[in-house]
Amino acid sequence: MAKDYDSRRLVHIGAERVSNVSSTDFPGHYPNEDHSWNLQKFKERLQVKIQRLSNRSIDFDLVGVDASIANAFRRILIAEVPTIAIERVYVWDNTSVIVDEVLSHRLGLIPLNIDPALMAFKSHTDDVATDRNTLVFNVDITCTRNPNPPPPKPNEEPSPSDLYLNHELLSKHLVWKPAGDQESVFEGLSPPGPTNPNIVLAKLRPGQAISMELHAVKGVGKDHAKFSPVATASYRLLPHIKITKPIPPPLGKKFQKCFSPGVIKIDPNTGEVSVDEENVRKDSVSREALRHPEFADSVELSRVRDFFLFNIETESAYPPERLFPEAVRVMREKISIIRNAAEALKAQLEGTTDVEMVEA
Amino acid sequence: MSAAHGREITEQAQPQQPPLKELGLTEPVKTVEDKWQLLPYFLQVKGLVKQHIDSFNYFVDTDIKNIVKANNKITSDVDPRFWLKYIDINVGFPDRNEMETVEKKVTPHECRLRDTTYSAPIIVTIQYTRGKNIVQRNVNIGRLPIMLRSKKCVLTGKSESELARMSECPLDPGGYFVVKGTEKVILVQEQLSKNRIIVETDSVKGVVQASCTSSTHGGLKSKTYVATKKGRIYLRHNSIHEDVPIVVALKALGVQSDKEILLLTAGNTEAYKIAFSANLEDAAKLGVFTRQQALEYIGTRVKVNRRVVGPRRPAWEEALEALATIVLAHVPVSGLDLRPKAIFVATMTRRVLMAMDDESMVDDRDYVGNKRLELAGQLLALLFEDLFKTYNSNLKSAIDKVLKKPSRTTEFDAYNTMQFQGDHLTAGFVRAISTGNWSLKRFKMERAGVTHVLSRLSFISALGMMTRISSQFEKTRKVSGPRALQPSQWGVLCPSDTPEGEACGLVKNLALMTHITTDVEEEPIIQLAFMLGVEDIRLATGTEIYGSNTFVVNVNGTIIGLTRHPTRFVTQFRRLRRANKFSEFVSIYVNHHHRAVHIASDGGRICRPMIIVENGLPKVTSEHIQLLKEKKLVFNDFLRKGLVEYLDVNEENDTYIALYESDITLQTTHLEIEPFTLLGAVAGLIPYPHHNQSPRNTYQCAMGKQAIGAIGYNQFNRIDTLLYLSVYPQKPMVKTKTIELIGYDKLPAGQNATVAVMSYSGYDIEDALILNKASLDRGYGRCQVLRKNATLIRKYPNGTFDRLADAPIDENGVVQKRYDIIQSDGLAGVGERVDPGDIYVNKQSPTNASDNSFTGQAASVPYKNTPMTYKSPVAGHIDKVMITDTENEQTLIKVLIRQTRRPELGDKFSSRHGQKGVCGLIVNQEDMPFNDQGINPDTIMNPHGFPSRMTVGKMIELLAGKAGVLTGKLQYGTAFGGSKVKTALQYNP
């Protein structure tokens, strides 16, 4: 039988409306119940469980927190976890068809494999570049004709890669120029460069050349999307399906088709229709079942309000499993700022000193 | 084409049932698969702008020769022995009109860049007397601007790589001119047909009138009316002061007997006889009984162009001349046999009588079959004729001037006189095309706004301009008739593509398969008609003409004879046309109202191809299409084999056309090639237009032209006044067959966006849009603006000249900030950033440039700064700097300055369904909504835009687009077809 959740934890999903949206577990909502925040209780309820981990993405469950907390992490992942990206481009020569501004924009969007922890923020945009806050790359490429191209094949256009040398500017053509003690800082790590070596930045033809110096700095996604470490950082709520009335076996197949594949199982012998608890998270909650009058009162659809199925895809130097802790770290920093400010305020109320927001 | 194409067609073909089951035919009917495949091959031979090019080719090859032939002799009033004759005229290929150039060939792109005119020399072969000899020589009399991609253009028939070498885009349609560096289009002009009788009524005044505008080659244009006035019928013409009673007019034309007049006009219809009889009495009251009396009557009322010399002629002679040459000038008069003209006038009278009797016999002026389209070739022909005549009269007076001198040292050679005739023709052409004023006093023509600058806002706007038709009607008149959508526009004029407001319905656009005819010689057609048994009209009397089983045969509006077997005649005539015995553009149809057969071979008729159906079976079969795909057949073979034929709007009335093969019955005569061709090129870009409310498609047609995208493969080589380019244009996810046919998928304008339809933040009310800041960061909607800045480095008449100077150094030895991008040649470096106030061309001019008394050393004069300063508030970059010479040897400098822009608040965005909106808010990615899959939209559209606008096509496009993204295949939203919603919904990951 289906795993039952406390009905207070469920967001009810009807054919035309979603109800029971807000959480109710705060003090004073239910008479004679204590809902004051309690670390012990929170610890008991809190669960984090990794479901899937790959090179580029992670799926994990975050259970037992309020939506505001889960959402705060999502937002921080997109906008406030710092990464390194190219911010300044000094063009010495660019005779390609792509104009300077567009090429610079394209360069900025290249994900770099540099651990942001090794770099410092530039405290101000006009700050001088130092070996602590800036990494320098060089690009120098000239397209020429291939002096000995392979013999042309009949009925085939010769490909540019046969005819020319350096006919494409790829992300791998970025050459790191270590400055100051950067060489020692990055020792033992893979040399700074793009995470993907094969991003086409510009196409070239004989006689065209590109020569530039690129400065990469640390930044955050709210400034520009190129600093965002994630491709996707989102969550959804765990679907919950409750069959209230047995589905007659002849309608089993039809009922099954109302849900995402694998969500509903049918016993091959008895024809009994039930929800596959393992796979219920796969459901898209399309509400298709509610459109059919024969199923409308046999099933209850809902989502679990504090059961977040997170999915994060990295597009930066961070491995996927490091992103969430990184977001937690940023969150704690923010909290400490607030705490410092709050304490200063408290001190002021007691003493006479001016309130000052403490910089991170 | 792609596999998706094939699939789409089979989907369409499925519901087709064997159509002739009920007719008892047993063998299964094969459907013609992919009959739309004819379309790309049709567009190969008759592209979208082919009408312009065809008409220009006709002018250059044929018409220009006819004009010269009609004005081919110059004589001298002084020396009767002198004559000069034009033997031939030829237009060469465009070349550089500069003396010292070695390489004479010129490309249109060079003309665009150098602000010159893409023109070719006009060479005449003349024969003239020099002393006692007759000499033949070739003379260049001027230069004719050449239409791009016409026969005389260097681009015609070139491969893609050859075009690339000439900096030309292979997708550019051509059909326009390059005059003084600007691209000019001569718009198609819509007019009422010439040489045809049109009957109109004025219900307020109770007037019925038949009018006919005569237009002949080299002749005058005049309008003749036969109109009622107080129950009487009169002939009215500009060259006659007073209305002439119709009976008097007919008598003057040689029909003396009252009986004959009655027969020719009223025939044997009693009602008409009664209505007409009063006119006979009037003539008797006026005392006009004989032809002589009639001529005297008219003669006293003719406006006489007094010639200076010669004795005064008697009135009857003036009348005879006016009737023979001015009134209804298009009806041929041989000798002084005015019989055909009398019959024409009688026919007009009869049409008036018919309309008086029966309201429904009045013609519809707005009917497309009564319209003719005037193209670039015709307009240029008129212009050339005018210029050529002036040229000849100038030449004649110049020759007379020389010959007048009693004694000459050398023998007079007219060739030398011609050399000094200046560039009257060249200047005339350039002036007319660059200003758009066609004011030809000789032909009583006064038209402004004939030409327009080709809009290069986007590829579509340029293409849309080439198919545009402007109407001659006044825009201020508050009549709805000419503006309304005419049923006869079906298939030839786009029902959606017309502007809103002032010019609504007056400016139209051609549909995809429309072709406009050029003149076909009518003499052989007349001969052919006689051979097919038509009886000569001159042998017929009124009884026969209006006999119960006779039909009058007209060729181009002129009555040539009678036939007693109209159906047989028409069938035989068509059979000969399908057998390719004469031009496929000659049309024939029966007008049962007027009991007449009309043959038309004149230019400017709108027609389109259709598949011929015989005995309930289309003549084009799948085998033919297969051969077409294998390139063993071309479109013209279909015409030659009689599988497909062109029908003009009038002939369409004689046919029974099936829209789909399943609709074919035994009566069917033709089958449409493809229903979506009833839309034009611009409306063809709309996906699922058949699901939209019709005004939305019209709005989209206006808006599609403003889309920023790619303009042509040569866009980075162009230096236009203003050019908008998209940084990342994308081909649409949901395309249409029209898109592929016109190459919009190769030069797209727009991007595919992830759209959420939901309300958000309140900054999206009244059609505002929300944009995702992260999408903008990643390049969504980014565009470039390129602006041209040009200046001349002039040489002045007093010997002084402008100069370029390097950046000045101030007292501290540093270059001022505003000069910092100037290099040593006085011009800004390419790639440099230009800030507001910066100088990018450091030009200096002599202070005494206009002082013509100055005689000193040009190098010693004082100079003042006349720099070009960057005025825009936003910084830009120098994209290109060009230094060249103009045609008159002045140095021309063009600097192209580029700005790259990212979307901001207030920028306009639109889908392809007339759903435009401005950006109301830019939202950070983390604040945007996301779905279960974590997808963020690029843009949020307010759902209130849907219910009242009913753009269901947009919703289907959203579905098809998403299905296409998920399956990784482009979808089709072709009008009256396209990917089905059902298939989009059946996507299964």
* B305: confidence class by pLDDT, cuts 50, 70, 90: low
In chain A, which residues have their Cβ closer than 8 Å to the Cβ of B160? none
Closest CA to B272 of B538, B546, B554: B546
B742 and B664 within one domain: no
Q: For residues B84-91, give the mean pLDDT.
A: 92
The domain tally of chain B equals 5
Distance CA A196, CA A219 (A): 20
The answer to whether B829 contacts chain A (CB < 8 Å) is: no
Q: Are B466 and B733 in contact (CB under 8 A)?
A: no
CATH number for the domain spanning B269: value is 3.90.1110.10
Distance CA B488, CA B63 (A): 30
Q: What is the pLDDT of residues B645-671, one digit of tens each?
A: 999 999 998 899 999 888 888 999 999
Where does a domain end: B659, B678, B697?
A: B678
* B989: confidence class by pLDDT, cuts 50, 70, 90: low
CATH number for the domain spanning B661: value is 3.90.1070.20
* CA of A181 vs chain B CAs: smallest distance (Å): 33
Evaluate whether residue B695 is within a structural domain.
no
CATH number for the domain spanning B396: value is 3.90.1100.10
Evaluate whether residue B683 is within a structural domain.
no
The answer to whether B955 contacts chain A (CB < 8 Å) is: no
B140 and B64 within one domain: yes
B29 and B90 within one domain: no
B772 and B754 within one domain: yes
Q: What is the pLDDT of residues A2-51, one digit of tens each?
A: 567 888 899 999 999 999 999 888 888 888 888 888 899 999 999 999 99
Which one has a higher pLDDT value, B118 or B301?
B118
Identify the residue whose tokens are 């279960």: B932
Say if residue B552's pLDDT is above 50.
yes
The answer to whether B934 contacts chain A (CB < 8 Å) is: yes
Which of B160, B167, B726, B777 best tests the A interface by mutation, with the highest count of A CBs <10 A? B777
Q: For residues B202-213, give the mean pLDDT.
A: 84
Q: For residues B936-946, give the mean pLDDT.
A: 93
The answer to whether B530 contacts chain A (CB < 8 Å) is: no
**Among A residues 65-94, those touching chain B with beta carbons less than 8 Å apart:** 74-75, 78-79, 91, 94
Q: Which residue of A has its CA nearest to B934?
A: A234
Q: Which residue of B has its CA nearest to A311?
A: B934
Distance CA B390, CA B424 (A): 9
Range scoring the smallest mean pLDDT among A259-263, A298-302, B47-51, B309-313:
B309-313
* DSSP per-residue letters across A211-273: EEEEEEEEE-TTT-GGG--EEEEEEEEEEEEEE-SPPPGGGHHHHHHTS-TTSEEE-TTT--E
Which of B727, B926, B935, B985 best tests the A interface by mutation, with the highest count of A CBs <10 A? B926
Say if residue B482's pLDDT is above 70.
yes
B314 and B220 within one domain: yes
Q: What is the pLDDT of residues B523-550, one digit of tens each?
A: 999 999 999 988 888 887 777 888 888 8
Give the torsion sign (CA, B672, B678, B682, B684): negative
Say if residue B103's pLDDT is above 80.
no
Buried b vs exposed e over B251-263: b needs ≥16 C-beta within 10 Å? bbbbbbebebbbb
Evaluate whether residue B692 is within a structural domain.
no
What pLDDT is stored for residue A215 in this prediction?
A: 94
Which one has a higher pLDDT value, B986 or B506?
B506
* B920: confidence class by pLDDT, cuts 50, 70, 90: very high
Which one has a higher pLDDT value, B104 or B651?
B651
Say if residue B287's pLDDT is above 90.
no
Which one has a higher pLDDT value, B43 or A40?
A40
First to last CA, chain B: 27
What pLDDT is stored for residue B987 in this prediction?
A: 66
The answer to whether A100 contacts chain B (CB < 8 Å) is: yes
What pLDDT is stored for residue A1 in this prediction?
A: 43
CATH number for the domain spanning B750: value is 2.40.270.10
* B480: confidence class by pLDDT, cuts 50, 70, 90: low
B788 and B768 within one domain: no
Please count the other Cβ atoms lying within 10 Å of the Cβ belonging to residue B167: 18
B888 and B919 within one domain: no
Say if residue B608's pLDDT is above 50.
yes
Say if residue B221's pLDDT is above 90.
no
Say if residue B25's pLDDT is above 50.
no
* CA of A63 vs chain B CAs: smallest distance (Å): 17
Where does a domain end: B901, B933, B965?
A: B901
* CA of B924 vs chain A CAs: smallest distance (Å): 7
In chain B, which residues have their Cβ closer than 8 Å to the Cβ of A285? 932
Q: What is the DSSP letter of B790?
A: E
Q: For residues B366-380, give the mean pLDDT.
A: 90
B789 and B756 within one domain: no
**Among B residues 868-927, those touching chain A with beta carbons less than 8 Å apart:** 877, 879, 898, 900, 924-926
Of B716, B774, B900, the CB nearest to A225: B774
User: What is the value of pTM for the model shown?
Assistant: 0.88
Mean pLDDT rounded to a whole number for chain B: 87
CATH number for the domain spanning B897: value is 2.40.50.150
Q: Are A107 and A190 in contact (CB under 8 A)?
A: no
Evaluate whether residue B490 is within a structural domain.
no
Say if residue A146's pLDDT is above 50.
yes
B790 and B776 within one domain: no
Q: For residues B34-52, give the mean pLDDT.
A: 80
Percentage of the residues of chain B whose pLDDT score is greater than 90: 44
Q: Tell me the β-bridge partners of A301.
A: A13, A241
Percentage of the residues of chain B whose pLDDT score is greater than 70: 94
Which of A18, A59, A102, A288 best tests the B interface by mutation, with the highest count of B CBs <10 A? A102
Say if residue B307's pLDDT is above 90.
no
Q: What is the pLDDT of residues A154-199, one digit of tens each?
A: 888 888 988 999 999 999 999 999 988 898 999 888 899 999 999 9
What pLDDT is stored for residue B90 in this prediction?
A: 93
Which one has a higher pLDDT value, B348 or B217?
B348
Distance CA B206, CA A197 (A): 85
* CA of A184 vs chain B CAs: smallest distance (Å): 34
Evaluate whether residue B747 is within a structural domain.
yes
Say if residue A287's pLDDT is above 80.
yes
Q: What is the pLDDT of residues A340-355, one digit of tens each?
A: 999 998 888 886 655 5
What pLDDT is stored for residue B383 in this prediction?
A: 92
B128 and B93 within one domain: yes
Give how far the C-alpha of residue A270 lies from the chain's centroid of Cα atoms, to the nearest Å.
44
Evaluate whether residue B301 is within a structural domain.
yes
B636 and B571 within one domain: yes
Q: For residues A297-314, give the mean pLDDT.
A: 93
Q: For residues A227-249, give the mean pLDDT.
A: 92
Evaluate whether residue B437 is within a structural domain.
yes
- Residue B179's domain comprises 46-183+374-442
CA distances from B41 to B532, B626, B633 (A): 34, 13, 10
Q: Flag if B716 and A228 touch (Cβ within 8 Å).
A: no
Evaluate whether residue B74 is within a structural domain.
yes
Q: Flag if A109 and B778 touch (Cβ within 8 Å).
A: yes
Where does a domain end: B416, B442, B468?
A: B442
* CA of B568 vs chain A CAs: smallest distance (Å): 55
B284 and B162 within one domain: no
Q: For residues B187-214, give the mean pLDDT.
A: 86
In chain B, which residues have their Cβ closer than 8 Å to the Cβ of A97? 716
Q: Flag if B900 and A101 touch (Cβ within 8 Å).
A: yes
The answer to whether B716 contacts chain A (CB < 8 Å) is: yes
Q: Flag if B934 and A99 touch (Cβ within 8 Å).
A: no
In chain A, which residues have their Cβ closer than 8 Å to the Cβ of B934? 232-234, 311, 313
